[in-house]
Amino acid sequence: MNINHKGVLKLTKMEKKFLRKQSKARHVLLKHEGIQAVSYPTQSLVIANGGLGNGVSRKQLLLTLEKCGPVEALLMPPNKPYAFVIFQTIEESKKAYFTLNGKEIIDDLGQKIFLYLNFVEKAQWKNMGLEALPPGLLVVEEIISSEEEKKLLESVNWTEDTGNQNFQRSLKHRRVKHFGYEFHYESNTVDKDKPLPGG
């Protein structure tokens, strides 16, 4: 940005274009998704054009974001053109805002995509309609009793195939048996390119 002789801030053509695009992204997110951007720094950012619906992969976006600091969470709703990122500190979030806003990345198909970031009070994961079930799916809460649950858990052979290091993962409040692919809990994904042996 340049300052002219009267002390007025003068924007370049590219800066004006960027501000228009960022403003438009903020307006579209509010109008169509109800996502309200805030004018002050927070730990959470919404990344317009950085979603799965735009062909941006989770791995690619995470690598880009981690250059600004440790990412606490990256939320990418299915088929949406935006994502949410939560950094550990506001300083890291501010760094991402200033470093990545207007940054060009290449999507999975080789297309150029420009990211537009805005601060949000919180990542609105639950308010985005993700609770909507696929057609025909019915969720029945508490369908089995505690005793039946205990019997089911006891019926799983947790000790077979002890030669395979991936056969069982011990978590704080649960036991996990993997079939086919290892589940990455830090990102809630599986890597389809790396099936487990015998999977």
pLDDT in tens, 13-45: 888 888 888 888 888 888 877 888 898 999 999
What's the confidence (pLDDT) of residue 157? Answer: 66
Work out the burial of residue 124: count CB atoms within 10 Å of its CB; fewer than 13 is exposed, 13-18 middle, 19 or more buried. middle
The pLDDT value recorded for residue 127 is 44
156-199 pLDDT, tens digit each: 766 655 554 544 444 445 556 666 777 776 667 777 788 877 65
Q: What is the model's pTM?
A: 0.58
What gap in Å lies between CA 46 and CA 23, rounded to an integer?
A: 13
If one compares 75 and 125, the residue with the highest pLDDT of the two is 75
> How does residue 128 score in pLDDT terms, banded at 50, 70 and 90?
very low
Report all structural domains of the chain as residue ranges with CATH numbers, in order of start: 11-123 (3.30.70.330), 160-199 (no CATH)
Question: DSSP letters of 96-157?
Answer: HHHHHTT-EEE-TTS-EEE-EEEEESS--SGGGSTTPPPTT----TT-S-HHHHHHHHHHS-
User: What pLDDT sits at residue 186?
Assistant: 64
